[in-house]
Structure 1
Amino acid sequence: MAGRTGAQQLVDALMALGTEVVFGLPGVHNLPLWEALGQTGIRVIGVRHEQAAGYAADGYARRTGKLGVALVTTGPGAANTLGAVGEAMASAAPVLVVATEIPSTLHRPGVVRGVLHETSDQQAMFAPVTKAGFTVHRADQIGTTVHRAARLALQPQTGPVYLGIPTDYLREVTPPREPPAPPAERVLDLPDLARAAELLSTARRPLIWAGGGALRAEAGEAIGKLAERLAAPVLTTFGARGLLPLEHPCLAPNPVHTPEVGQLWDEADVVLAIGTDFDGLMTQNWLMPAPPKLIAVNVDAGDAAKNYRPDITLVGDARRVVESLHPQQRPGLAELTARLAGIGRRVRRRIRDEEPQAADFLSTLEEVLPPDAMLVTDMCVAGYWVGGFHRVRAPRRLAYPMGWGTLGYGFPASIGAGAAAEAVQGGRVVCVTGDGGFLYAVGELATLAEEQLPVTVVVVDDGGYGMLRYDQDSEGVPRRGVDWDSPDFVGLARSFGVHADRVSGFGRAFRRLLSESVESDEPNMLVVRAKLKPPLNTSPRWYRKQRD
């Protein structure tokens, strides 16, 4: 092949990796990339802020399981993505951030000379929030380094990777290199497999705790069969919502933060933890007692043991490990199913008694959303209700920013998820965001209108930061910084060319308007004026309390 510019080699590598969509913002240093992308079939979605590019790449990755790509420029452009990259890292979303750096001809090691957008060490800024970082040192390294970075991002545990390219390399012409050979598949070696099977076989009250790693490994079917064999309830973390079908006889209601469901954990004598690290948000900051016996399935033994110490650790891909487990069949499946149904009824009754508006909201979502719809939420009270209590129908139908907890995630991530609709042959994306989080990325209404993405944005307007307002009220301190006069969100959306409606509360009018919105072929927005009480899965309402 004749010589190719560095930009062309980067784009060639993305195409070889099967990239269909990239998200980014042009800058003076990365314009050659936009020129090269214009000669391909890759869809380029231009956003209005670099953080939105990172969130959109994350949303795309969570919906598809594929690599999400964000293209940004040097210095402040790269730095603007850090909040989004931190969320991707905490939630294990495979995102590749490609950022330009100052020209190699102007760079002096250890010296900041004052070149436009220069930083002392751009790659180092990303070190705390990425799996790894790469900076190319020759133009002919670009293509091979893209392959290395992408493979690392997609390798379990998945996560974001940074790639920095001096801007002058993008126009330099060099002969392309062959991409590196894919790594050999690791042989599954599980010396403790028989011991784990025996421990599960003799358990009186086994329980399965499935995390995001189980979902990303597509282990749902294997876990479902194992659960039925053991007559064991399956608790899913925020990252594993949708792992099992709603009708599965062993699927416990969500979330474990309710006393009714938490009792299942307290009673278990053996817990099989699959693809999880037992983070603070799921365990109420580890106030859940350590189980009498714990078997951990994880790609990383250190990750499996950092919060609760396992008695047995099975290192490997979740699906392959679970398929290799063959405990004896236990009786009691019908009794377990009946018990879980009763727990579900009690949880729903609790919601109806404590917060009727939330009950209406959740029931409307369940009844109105199409079967192939995806929900993307923000850090807001309505989003917490969805993350905790919405009955997710299938894997990758919920994106919830409770890895790092980044306010402003929901709307731009829904743009990425909406752009993935064709790739997954999926339906509409519904974004649930608060007024505060929506304002973080309100400029992306322009992107939504320009790209005509299948997204419905539900903005729950409570006139401020509702969760923080609740915190201040609970502590009995004056409200400060949490209340405001909301803008005209409907008029704002319409000014961008996005259809919008408004409604008060989550009653019949909300149900009718949401139904009309999700049936539309165009992007739209529904503004709901309402105040919700936070659910039990938010830390101020955790029922487990620290003992003095």
Structure 2
Amino acid sequence: MRTVGERLVEGLAARGVKVVFGIPGVHTVELYRGLSESPVRHVTARHEQGCAFMADGYARASGQPGVAFVITGPGITNALTAMAQSRQDSVPVLVISGVNRRDSLGRGLGRLHELPDQAAMVRALCPTRQITAPEDVGPVLDWAWALLTTGRPGPVHIEVPTDVMPLPCPPLAPPAALAEQPVPGADALARAAELLNRAARPVILVGGGARGQQAALQALAEKLDAPVIQTTNARGMMHGHPLTVPASPSLAVVRDLITGADQVLAIGTELGQTDYDMYADGGLPDLSSMIRIDRDGAQLGRWTTALALLGDAGATMAALLPLLTPHAAQGAPRAEDTRHRARAVLGELSPTMPGQLDMVEAIRAALPGCQIIGDSTQPIYAGNLYYDHDRPGGWFNAATGYGALGFGPGAAVGAAMARPDLKTVCLVGDGGLQFSPGELRTAVDERLPITFLVWNNAAFREIAEAMRGANTEVIGCHPSPLRLEPFAAACDLPFTSVPQDPDVLHWALSQPQDGPRLIEIRVTL
């Protein structure tokens, strides 16, 4: 009879899991026994934080839960930072870890990798359950999948004691049927349609909760003739469309568009500070009269609204669409004016931002339809303020929500594993690269078509500028950067160094690529 560890892997495969990201340890041997005869592929990271970042990137690029295997103790504590990023950005990630044998838990016996209460530590961040007996395996996986695929997604943790993992386990029952995505009732939909039909100047706010629903969003926007303001995690959903506003609602000119609306429709967005008030100036317009669509009831209760619709973004937009009357064409000029003013204002925020955006746009021009996965670095900050990507779901980064530095390399590996048919770009600063340099070797091992594009300004430049702006002495912001050419050689990566020039960057990105590569952008003031 197969063991608990083997059945766990079997249960993951039955739920459609194709890849897990992990680092094996003595506490997870039985999971790896399960992998040996499984269709599930294992990708070895270089750090447990990287495992969970890879699972995050995989989930965002594939639309399916990402899965990571880590050991008890330091394995799970290393993964917690990445899990927090997934929580803030509503990304479905399952982390399966070991935990010490049941009769030792909480007793302070000095066991290897011991924690006082591992489950309690994780529970402060996300849901967690322990498999305490073989008969728990199937029900716990069903519980995890329900959380990962319904309501507001995020990280979920399962821990398996070392004395339970090798126990004989009978065959699992088939996975439980997943719940239907919620749709608001007919009365609520009719009320929403009434409010929208009588609006002369509607505006749509759309966030990451609408990812994958670009056709429904475009149809809705066109029928309402409503400009669509996209948060960072929604970029690319309406690339190049006359109604699109790929600019942050933290910008005053975008807020002006919201203020001038007589009806705001917010879809799949938590209205979080890093998108709507990143400068913490409190200038976000009053949204108390908005209509809000979200599949998380708790999230709906956090804002005053005229109407809250509990439902899946795509299903709710599809149900709402036939109830709407076509609006007169005036939204496109309003959107165009906002786009023009938003781009112009970036130079007022920082004189370097337009040049940084030119570099981001050079990536899109050289590699159309690619995935751009960002770390916390200056051109990513600029792009989050204003950038229209050409692939839905193809622009995401850690410079929103939790803001974990070092996200980019691991997340790019996960995204490339999910979409090996696409070119993937990891845009990371020289400082962020030093948080997770080992994940470049994983890209080499897997021969992934990733361009690691390093924005090398030899500093934590954004932090240094914030210190100067606060009239504070700049301290700790100039760690010595890696010498990138020998570093690339050590990683067996082709290397190119270019100045901050969009034409030269376009040329470098257009060169033939076979597997991963590293391109340095030398930044000068």
Q: Normalising by structure 2, what TM-score?
A: 0.93
For residues 66 and 435 of structure 1, the distance between their equivalents in structure 2, rounded to whole angstroms, comes to 31
> In the alignment, which residue of structure 1 is the partner of 2:504?
509
CA–CA separation in structure 2 for the residues paired with 1:349 and 1:221: 30
Question: Which SS does the other structure have where 1:4 is aligned?
Answer: coil
Aligned to 2:355: 357
Shift of 1:431: 0.5
Q: Which residue of 2 aligns with 1:256?
A: 249
1:251-330 alignment runs, 5 A limit: 251-284=244-277, 285=280, 286-291=282-287, 293-306=289-302, 308-325=303-320, 326-330=322-326
Is 1:377 the counterpart of 2:374 in the alignment? yes
User: Which shows bigger deviation, 142-151 or 160-169?
Assistant: 142-151
Instruction: Write the letter of the residue equivalent to 1:107.
Output: S
Partner of 1:208: 204
- Counterpart CA distance in 2 for 1:297 and 1:206 is 15
- CA gap 1:266/1:476 in 2 versus in 1, 3 angstroms: same
Pair 503,8 (structure 1): closer, same or farther in 2 beyond 3 Å:
same
Tell me by how many angstroms 1:507 deviates.
3.8
Match among 86, 110, 115 for residue 114 of structure 1: 110
Aligned to 1:176: 171
Q: 2:55 aligns with which of 34, 54, 57?
A: 57
Alignment check: 8 A CA contact 1:366 1:390 kept: no
2:177 and 2:343 map into 1 onto residues whose CA distance is: 49
Q: Which moved more, 1:164-173 or 1:344-353?
A: 344-353
**Partner SS for 2:112:** coil
Contact 1:270-1:291 at 8 Å conserved across structures: no
What's the counterpart of residue 88 of structure 2? 90
Cα distance in structure 2, aligned partners of 1:79 and 1:34: 21
Which residue type is aligned with residue 116 of structure 1? L
In the alignment, what sits opposite 1:228?
A: 222
* Alignment check: 8 A CA contact 1:75 1:119 kept: yes
The amino acid of 1:386's aligned partner reads G
- Aligned twin of 1:392: 389
Q: 1:375 aligns to what SS in structure 2?
A: strand
Aligned-residue RMSD, C-alpha: 2.0
Q: Give the match for residue 235 of structure 2.
A: 241
The answer to whether the 8 Å contact 2:240/2:388 transfers is no
Distance in 1, matches of 2:9 and 2:244, equals: 44
Aligned 1:484-499 pairs, distance under 5 A: 484-499=479-494
Q: 2:84 and 2:182 mapped to 1: Cα distance?
A: 31
Query: 1:268·1:291 contact (CA, 8 Å) conserved in 2?
Result: no
Q: Is the 8 A contact 1:214 1:240 kept in 2?
A: yes
Q: Tell me the SS of whatever aligns to 2:98.
A: strand
Alignment of 1:417-456 (within 5 A): 417-422=415-420, 426-456=421-451
| Cα deviation, residue 51, structure 1 | 0.3
> 2:516: which partner in 1?
523
The 8 Å contact of residues 66 and 94 in structure 2, kept in 1 or not, is answered as: yes
Match of 2:33 in 1: 35
CA separation of 1:184 and 1:90: change in aligned 2, threshold 3 A = closer
Shift of 1:447: 1.2
| Stretches of structure 2 lacking an aligned partner (at least 5 in a row) | none
What CA distance in whole angstroms lies between the structure 1 residues aligned with 2:374 and 2:524? Answer: 16
- Whether the 8 Å CA contact 2:431–2:479 is kept in 1: the answer is no
Q: Is the deviation greater in 347-356 or in 485-494?
A: 347-356
Alpha-carbon shift at residue 259 of structure 1 (Å): 3.0
SS at match of 2:290: strand
Shift of 1:502: 1.3
Provide, for residues 11-69 of structure 1, a one-character-per-residue CA deviation record: whole Å limited to 9, x for no partner: 11011011111100111111222232122222111111000000000000000011100
CA contact 1:207–1:272 (8 Å) conserved in 2: yes
**1:197 is the counterpart of 2:193:** yes
Q: Distance in 2 between matches of 1:506 and 1:189?
A: 50
Q: What do residues 244-284 of structure 1 show as CA deviations (whole Å, max 9, x unaligned)?
A: 2x232321232223333222111112111111221112221
The 3 A distance-change label for structure 1 pair 186 and 42 is: closer
Report deviation, 1:72: 0.3
Residue 127 (structure 1) aligns with: 123
User: 2:23 — aligned with what?
Assistant: 25
Is the 8 Å Cα contact of residues 201 and 329 (structure 1) preserved in structure 2? yes
Please give the secondary structure, in 2, of the residue aligned with 1:449.
helix
CA distance in structure 1 between the partners assigned to 2:288 and 2:9 by the alignment: 52
Change beyond 3 A, Cα 1:499–1:187 = closer
Task: Give deviations 1:405-451, integer Å, cap 9, x for gaps.
Answer: 111111111111111124xxx31110101111110111122212111
1:125 aligned counterpart, secondary structure = helix
Q: Which amino acid aligns with 1:497?
A: D
**Is the Cα contact below 8 Å between 1:144 and 1:178 reproduced in 2?**
no
Cα pair distance change 1:413/1:494, threshold 3 Å: same
Equivalents in 2 of 1:496, 1:352: separation in Å? 37
Q: Any stretches of 5+ residues in structure 1 without a counterpart?
A: 533-548
How has the CA–CA distance of structure 1 residues 394 and 179 changed in structure 2, closer, same or farther, with 3 Å as cutoff?
Answer: same
Partner-residue secondary structure (3-state), 1:129:
coil
Q: How high is the TM-score relative to the length of structure 1?
A: 0.90
Distance in 2 (CA, whole Å) between partners of 1:336 and 1:177 is 54
Q: Which residue matches 2:331?
A: 336
Question: 2: CA distance between counterparts of 1:337 and 1:187?
Answer: 32
* 1:148/1:180 contact within 8 Å kept: no
Partner SS, residue 85 of structure 1: helix
Residue 344 to residue 34, structure 1, CA distance change in 2 (3 Å): same
Query: What does residue 465 of structure 2 align with?
Result: 470
**What is the CA-CA distance between 1:351 and the residue it aligns to?**
4.6
Structure 2: which amino acid aligns with 1:111? R
